Structure 1
Amino acid sequence: MYRLLISVAMAATATSAFAADAIVMDQTVAAPHISGYVEAYLGGLYLTVPGDHATATTAGGTGRVNFPIDARWNIQTDAMVDSLWVQGQNLYGYGGAVHAYWRDPSAYALGGFATITGYGGDGIGGENIYDFSVGPEAQVYIGNVTLYGQVYYGQLRANGSSEHIDDWGTRGVARYFARDNLRFDAELGFSSISISGEHLNTVTGALQAMYRFSGSPFSVFGRYQLDHAYAGGESENIHKYVIGLRASFGSDTLLDEDRNGATMDTYRPNFILPFAGG
């Protein structure tokens, strides 16, 4: 079962930032109201291992909605789907997340989150494979910069089996708003999967850019993410490039969305791949 579990490949996500707008930074705190966005992306993956490489096509989408409970407490719900086409096979992940947090838009946000993701596609057969994770998260707002951190623990499971694979990780994100509608992100993370005493570790780095058209709910974005995975003396690099489109509601600018709307997200790797498969 472990061989099947670690052979699940899944596409990741695109979230963040590009372009320019001459709007002056506005730190006004908006009255609590429902807001969110939906986005879709298309791109490619490039996998390199010593002496070999492979390419794949990826696409996916995300929807997030923030529900203010009062002036400070918020509930955010996420839904996502990611798909990967490689060597004539399609593999996909789908799931959601819930965030509960307290936020002062002029200072910080503090809360926790939970996720669940299922996997399917060619080669998985009748196995119902899924994972879940839980953890704390926090944001700090310093002028036109948002610093975001998460830590999580999770398990990868198959229905009907008592066996599972443990995983944990941490990530940090810096969001820089050059203007209200021009956002740049940098991300660094680490995750580890424990399999029968062995560890599959992944270091992740990403750069993102997003531009929202002034007076419009629409944004365009691009993202590059590198996952460097290693275990048992073997390693591989997984490069992912995507472009996409976001449609927002209940917010006026990207900065407004970050401080008063659906500001939380979750880590999703480029994909999970075995080193001891076959």
Structure 2
Amino acid sequence: MYRLILGAAIAATTTSAFAADAPVVLDQELTQPHISGYVEAYLGGLYLSASGGHSTSTVAGGAGRVNFPIDSRWNIQADAIIDSLWIDDQNLYGYGGAVHGYWRDPTAYALGGFASITGYGGDSLGFPDVYSFSVGPEAQVYVGNATLYGQVYYGQLRASGSSEHADNWGGRSVVRYFALDNLRFDGELGFTRLSLGGEHLDTVTAALQAMYRFSDTPLSVFGRYQLDHVSIAGENVNIHKYVIGLRASFGSDTLLDEDRNGATMDTYRTNFVTPFL
């Protein structure tokens, strides 16, 4: 139906919630290093619109992230993700993970790099196993009760058994604002370009997120709206995704503590896979 888009899968964090909580603590103490992280799952819908019509699908997925402090400043974080959708009686999915290595002062900033790999599959796709990988630097700056997060990356999209590949590069910026220690709002902007044989598929991403963690518990509720505007050869496709979900954290007391002392890094999770290979 949509030859430009073979699939959509991948979205992640955040939902609006309203409740009283303790005020945000702006001066973060350097906590004793310890392992921390979270697992989360989401469910939602996707709406795809193009000049030829539109389509809807159900989406679901999840992620798990664990931060391993090497000492009081150096950290290694490991991620695992899975995202799936059902469209036109087909199931399409992405799965993979990432590793981050970074130096962090929880009162000022974090600086490091990451590498990720993602595989794609589904019903009756008609081509070999497809996977992508990316590498790049990332940094966070902590300004009071806000976190400024940026990444740039380069990678490739490949098919098993093929010598051809598509180059992929991009960047993203995220602002996290903690209205309360356990109430977090996010805004995200990103751009990525996938190139093969002189053709370019450009994606501009915009997302809004919110998350609330229940006081004195490890549980958070979240929701996210993400828009991917995809352009190729003069054609444009808009992919809207809405999700809600649940997160269970360990090794942290609040969302702000998790952001400054725990598993704070993540990676770009696009909504689509393309049939270039």
Q: TM-score, normalised by structure 1?
A: 0.94
2:20 counterpart residue number: 21
Secondary structure at the aligned position of 1:175 is classed as strand
Bigger shift: residues 212-221 or 157-166: 157-166
Matched, 1:75 2:73: no
Q: What whole-Å deviation, never above 9, does each CA across 1:179-222 have from its counterpart, x for those lacking one?
A: 00000000000000102111110100000000000000000001
2:210 corresponds in structure 1 to 209
**1:22 is aligned with what amino acid?**
D
What TM-score comes out, normalization by structure 2 length? 0.94
Runs of 4+ residues deviating >4 angstroms: none
State the distance in 2 between where 1:71 and 1:269 align.
33
For 1:145, the aligned partner's letter is: A
Give the alignment of 1:120-139 within 5 angstroms: 120-125=121-126, 127-139=128-140
| Pair 1:44 & 2:45 matched | yes
Instruction: Give the alignment of 1:1-278 within 5 angstroms.
Output: 8-19=6-17, 20-26=19-25, 27-125=28-126, 127-273=128-274
Distance 1:126 1:189 in 2: 28
1:25 maps to a residue whose letter is V
Give the letter aligned to residue 48 of structure 1.
Answer: S
1:76-106 alpha-carbon deviations (Å, 9 max, x no partner): 0000110010010001111000000000000
Q: Does structure 2 retain, via aligned residues, the 8 Å contact 1:10–1:119?
A: no
Taking only aligned residues, the RMSD between alpha carbons, in angstroms, comes to 1.6
How far off is 1:18 after superposition? 3.0
What percent identity do the matched residue pairs reach? Answer: 72
Q: CA deviation at 1:241?
A: 0.1
* Deviates most, 55-64 or 7-16: 7-16
1:193/1:106 Cα in 2 relative to 1: closer, same or farther (>3 Å)? same
How far the C-alpha of 1:35 sits from its partner, in A, is 0.1
Secondary structure of the equivalent of 1:256?
helix
Structure 2 counterpart of 1:204, which letter?
A: T
Q: Does the aligned pair in 2 maintain the 1:167–1:191 contact within 8 Å?
A: yes
Aligned residues: 272
Residue type of the alignment partner of 2:7: A
